[in-house]
Amino acid sequence: MEDLKVKIIEVKESILADNDADADVLREELKKDKTYYLNLMSSPGSGKTSTLIQTISRLKDKFRIGVMEADIDSDVDAKTIAAAGVKSIQIHTGGMCHLDADMSRQGLKEIGTDDLDLVILENVGNLVCPAEFDTGSVKNAVILSVPEGDDKPLKYPLMFQKADVVLVNKMDALEAFDFDLEKLKGYIHMRKPGIPIYPVSAVTGEGMDAWCEWLENEVAQYLKEA
Ligand SMILES: Nc1nc2c(ncn2[C@@H]2O[C@H](COP(=O)(O)OP(=O)(O)OP(=O)(O)O)[C@@H](O)[C@H]2O)c(=O)[nH]1
Ligand SMILES: [Mg+2]
Ligand SMILES: [Zn+2]
C-alpha cells in the first residue's frame, strides 16, 4: 500500500467513576459541534474496515467524514482509510480492549470535529467489553459476519442490546456456511426488538446502498436538528 502517514495517538482510560454521565456530556458537546458520532463494533475480522471503505465511497461527497481507528497496536487500518480519501487517525488504547467516553474525547480532539459532519469510530475488535462502555456516540452499529455463526446474539446479548443497527457482512460467503439469516434476525430482535438489519457484502457491495441510505438519513436528520 502507498505509504500514507497517519497520526497515531495514545489514549488513557478515564479516571472518572461515571462513564455514562461523561458520555452524555460528550454527546452534548458533539451536538453543539454539529458532528454525528457513530460507534462501529464487531469481533476481530468481521469486516469493519472493509465496510467503512464501502461506506466512505458512497457518502464522502455528501458529508465531511472522519474515521478513528482504535486498535491495541499497528496503524494499518488508519492507513487503509486514509487511502480512501477521508481524514483518519489511529488510536492506540494502551492494551485496552474497548474505548470509554473520555478516550473517545481524546481521539475526537485530535481528529478535530470542527470541519467534520460524521465521525465513525472503528472500535477495538471485540464482541464483549466495547458494549459495556458508552463512547458518547449518537448510535451504535454492530457488524456480525456469516462465518461467525447465526447464534452470536444468544451468546453475546449485551452487544446486540446496545446496537441501534446491525449489518450482517460476508453475505457472499453464505453458501459455504451453515448460517440461517432468518434465525439470526429473530435472535437479534429478541435482544433489541425492531432494529434495522442490513445483510451486506463488503466484497461484492451487495446491500451497501441500503445501509448507506439508513446512515445518510440518520446524519441528515441529526444535522438538521443540531
Ligand atoms: N468474503 C468476504 N470477505 C470479507 C468481507 N468483508 C471483509 N472480508 C475479509 O475479511 C477480512 C477482515 O476484514 P476487515 O475489514 O479487516 O475486518 P475488521 O473487522 O476491520 O478487522 P479488525 O480491524 O482486525 O477487527 C479481510 O480479509 C477482508 O478482505 C465480505 O463481505 N466478504
Ligand atoms: Mg479493521
Ligand atoms: Zn475492554
Q: Of 122, 74, 80, whose CA–CA distance to 98 is shortest?
A: 122
User: Does the beta carbon of 47 lie inside 6 Å of ligand 1?
Assistant: yes
- CA 51 / ligand 1 centre spacing (Å): 8
Which residue has a Cα nearest atom 13 of ligand 1? Answer: 47
Confirm whether 2 is domain-assigned.
Answer: no
| Assigned C-alpha cell, 90 | 489511529
Question: 196 in a domain, yes or no?
Answer: yes
Distance CA 130, CA 141 (A): 12
Residue 34 is predicted with a pLDDT of 97
User: Confidence class of residue 20 from pLDDT cuts 50, 70 and 90?
Assistant: very high
Q: Is residue 1 part of a domain?
A: no
Decide: 174 in ligand 1 pocket, CB within 6 A.
no
Distances (CA, A) of 120 to 56, 113, 123, 172, 211: 10, 11, 9, 25, 14
| pTM passes above 0.75 | yes
Please state the three-class secondary structure of 98-163 as a single string.
CCCHHHHHHHHHHHCCCCCCEEEEECCCCCCHHHHCCCCCCEEEEEEEHHHCCCHHHHCHHHHHCC
3-class secondary-structure state, position 58: helix
Residue with the smallest CA separation from ligand 1 atom 32 is 170
The answer to whether residue 202 sits within a structural domain is yes
- 42 ligand 1 Cβ < 6 A: yes
How many structural domains compose the chain? Answer: 1
Q: How confident is the model at residue 3 (pLDDT cuts 50, 70, 90)?
A: low
Q: Report the distance separating Cα 117 and Cα 138, nearest Å.
A: 12
Give domain status of residue 79, yes or no. Answer: yes
Residue 112 has a pLDDT of 97
Quote the longest CA-to-CA distance of the chain.
47
pLDDT band at 87 (very low <50, low <70, confident <90, very high): very high
CA of 98 to the centre of ligand 1 (A): 19
Q: φ and ψ at 90, to 5 degrees?
A: -105, 130
For residue 88, being part of any structural domain is answered with yes
Report how far ligand 3's centroid is from the alpha carbon of 93 (Å).
Answer: 10
Strand 139-145 to strand 36-41: parallel, antiparallel, or no bridges (unpaired)?
parallel
Q: What is the pLDDT of residues 180-220, one digit of tens each?
A: 999 999 999 999 999 999 999 999 999 999 999 999 999 99
* Closest CA relative to residue 210, chosen from 144, 35, 201, 66: 201
- Give the atom of ligand 1 at the shortest distance from the alpha carbon of 53: 15
CA of 42 to the centre of ligand 2 (A): 9
**What CATH number does the domain containing 85 carry?**
3.40.50.300
Q: Please check whether residue 4 is in contact with residue 83, taking contact to mean a CB–CB distance below 8 angstroms.
A: yes
The answer to whether position 157 is within a domain reads yes
Q: Is residue 111 part of a domain?
A: yes
Q: How confident is the model at residue 226 (pLDDT cuts 50, 70, 90)?
A: confident
* Structural domain that includes position 34: 7-225
Backbone angles phi, psi at 215, to 5 degrees: -65, -40
* 3-state class (DSSP) for residue 220: helix
